[in-house]
Amino acid sequence: EGMTIIELAKRSGESIHALQNILTNVGENIGSEFDSLSIDIAELVAMEIGVNVRRLHSCEGAAVLPRPPVVTVMGHVDHGKTSLLDALRSTSVAAREAGGITQHIGAFVVKMPSGASITFLDTPGHAAFSAMRARGAAITDLVVLVVAADDGVMPQTIEAIAHAKDANVPIVVAINKCDKPAADPERVKVQLASEGLPLEEMGGDIQVIEVSAKSKSGLDNLEEALLLQAEMMELKARIDGPAQAYVVEARLDRGRGPLATAIVKAGTLVCGQHIVVGAEWGRIRAIRDTAGKLREDATPAMPVEIEGLKGLPMAGDDITAVESEERAKMLSAGRKKKLEKDRLLKIDEGKEVSPDPLEDVPVRVEMPVIVKADVQGSVQAVTDALKSLNSSQVLINVVHVGVGPISQSDLDLAQASGACIVGFNVRGPSGCVGTSATKAGVQIKVHRVIYHLLEDIGSLIVEKAPGTF
């Protein structure tokens, strides 16, 4: 545990004196440079000097046990990702225990007759996957690549393959909609092979399962295939000791405050612990499983909902248990400061690349946007997707994001900043909010599919800046 100032100086290349100054500034009393710093303090200091730290929990002797795989569903739009997740969810533990009623908390668990279980992430799509990866959350063990049997390999199928390969995550292919008369699984297989996927029946190692989300056929085969793949990967995790976990989704509940769905990667998360979650902190007041039942703790691959955070974290944020409230506050403050520094740095970089007004280049059109979505995970995914539209001619400026329906205050902000409002998986403005939006001439775009949303915003950009695309 921890390291001495001398060690930290050696590894970071900073002088011992500079480090001691920082320590004094964060209110830490250090007697000598041979004193050991706790891992939290070491992280704080490292952040101050701009060094990235990674916590390695060396828990020698701790039991390492097999753990369930965590699976993400990807594929082309309309190929049935949501339907497949719905079908799988209906066989989940929560659905059985709660008599078919499940809450969407961002993940669910399917238990097989053999006793083995699989954890599915509930947010389909590449944007969510990329957002998590971008934040360093290597939480997915396997990808289910959904390809519609009547439509075959499409652009986003290829994109999904690229994402999975890039992240080094094995693929299991689910050929969906096999109930349709126009289904042609054999054609899909040939297409996949020509995309460079070594399918099992052609001598490779990628399993292909034919399913129908509609008639719920082939689901058990798919689950078996995922378990087989997981078995080959020998997934294991340390059970005892401090938890290392990730946020898959976060939302604000009126009564219970910020709620985060977490999946533990290693160790055990325990009720009552003080935690730092990304740049937020809190004390775990309650842990609930996917059926909404209270638990004392959470072990690897088990999705749980955590209550007791002081602020709303983001999908992909890491969760670290710390020893005291003081530590939690300090780390959170340090991380917030660093985020702000990075943000300002980015703005500076942005200024550098903006075109010189004296040169004969088209002016970059700025599009202020407000993003509202159902859950924090979607907010993140939509924001990232919108930013992917940025180019030398267009700058999407996300002026505000939030979870929940489009409100009057969003409208006020939109009017003040000349922004359009993008709603994802939320209802459009109702009643007087809708009326005042029309009056104020604020554009509101509400969608349930990111791809459609991007198309819509794309055409808005073209309106504003003809000849952009």
Closer residue to ligand GDP (CB): 217 or 468 = 217
Q: Is 240 in the site for ligand GDP (CB under 6 A)?
A: no
Q: How far apart are CB 216 and ligand GDP at their closest, in Å?
A: 9
Q: How far is the CB of 123 from ligand GDP (least distance, A)?
A: 11
For 65, phi then psi, to 5°, come to -120, 155
User: Counting beta carbons within 10 angstroms of the beta carbon of residue 314, is it exposed (0 to 12), middle (13 to 18) or buried (19 or more)?
Assistant: buried
According to the binding rule CB under 6 A, does residue 465 interact with ligand GDP? no
Site for ligand GDP in 247-306 (CB under 6 A): none
In three-state form (DSSP H/G/I as H, E/B as E, the rest C), the secondary structure along the chain is: CCEEHHHHHHHHCCCHHHHHHHHHHCCCCCCCCCCEECHHHHHHHHHHCCCCCCCCCCCCCCCEEECCCEEEEEECCCCCHHHHHHHHHCCCHHHHHCCCCCCCCCEEEEECCCCCEEEEECCCCHHHHHHHHHCCCCCCCEEEEEEECCCCCCHHHHHHHHHHHHCCCCEEEEEECCCCCCCCHHHHHHHHHHCCCCEHHHCCCECEEECECCCCECHHHHHHHHHHHHHHHCCEEECCCECEEEEEEEEEECCCEEEEEEEEEECEEECCCEEEECCEEEEEEEEECCCCCEECEECCCCEEEEEEECCCCCCCCEEEEECCHHHHHHHHHHHHHHHHHHHHHHHHHHHHHCCCCCCCCCCCEEEEEEEEECCHHHHHHHHHHHHCCCCCCEEEEEEEEEECCCCHHHHHHHHHHCCEEEEECCCCCCHHHHHHHHHHCCCEEEECCHHHHHHHHHHHHHHHCCCCC
State the nearest-atom distance from the C-beta of 140 to ligand GDP, in Å. 17
Binding to ligand GDP by residue 28, rule CB under 6 A?
A: no
Residues 105-124, mask of contacts with ligand GDP (x by CB under 6 A): -------------------x
Give the whole-angstrom CA distance, residue 108 versus residue 110: 7
Question: Can you tell me which of 81, 89, 189, 372 binds ligand GDP, judged by CB under 6 A?
Answer: 81
Q: Is position 82 an interface residue for ligand GDP (rule: CB under 6 A)?
A: yes
The single residue among 37, 70, 169, 213 that binds ligand GDP, judged by CB under 6 A, is 213
Least distance CB 178 / ligand GDP (angstroms): 7
Stretch touching ligand GDP by CB under 6 A, among 74-82, 161-169, 267-275, 295-303:
74-82
Name the minimum Å distance from CB 372 to ligand GDP.
Answer: 21
Does residue 83 interact with ligand GDP by CB under 6 A? yes
Nearer CB in complex with ligand GDP: 9/74: 74
Contact stretch for ligand GDP (CB under 6 A) within 27-35, 212-220, 240-248, 453-461: 212-220
Site size toward ligand GDP (CB under 6 A) is 16
Question: Contact between 214 and ligand GDP (CB under 6 A)?
Answer: yes
Compare residues 47 and 382 and give the one whose CB is closer to ligand GDP. 382
- Tell me which stretch binds ligand GDP (CB under 6 A): 32-40, 133-141, 211-219, 227-235: 211-219
Residue 358's CB is within 10 A of a number of other CB atoms, namely 6
Asked if residue 78 binds ligand GDP (CB under 6 A), the reply is yes
Instruction: Map residues 167-186 to x or -, x wherever contact with ligand GDP holds by CB under 6 A.
Output: ---------xx-xx------
Shortest Å, Cβ 94 to ligand GDP: 20
Cα–Cα separations (whole angstroms), residue 392 to 354, 364, 388, 455? 8, 7, 12, 19
Stretch that binds ligand GDP, among 7-15, 71-79, 268-276, 338-346 (CB under 6 A): 71-79
Q: In the bound complex, what is the minimum distance in angstroms from residue 144's beta carbon to ligand GDP?
A: 11
Instruction: Decide whether 226 or 291 has the Cβ nearer to ligand GDP.
Output: 226
Interaction with ligand GDP in 124-153: which residues (CB under 6 A)? 124
> Toward ligand GDP, which CB reaches closer, 179 or 224?
179
Residue (176 or 299) nearer to ligand GDP, CB: 176
According to CB under 6 A, which one of 72, 140, 212, 299 is a site residue for ligand GDP?
Answer: 212
Report the residue number, 74 or 260, with the smaller CB distance to ligand GDP.
Answer: 74
Whichever of 143 and 213 has its CB closer to ligand GDP, that residue is 213
Give the binding site for ligand GDP (CB under 6 A). 75, 77-83, 124, 176-177, 179-180, 212-214
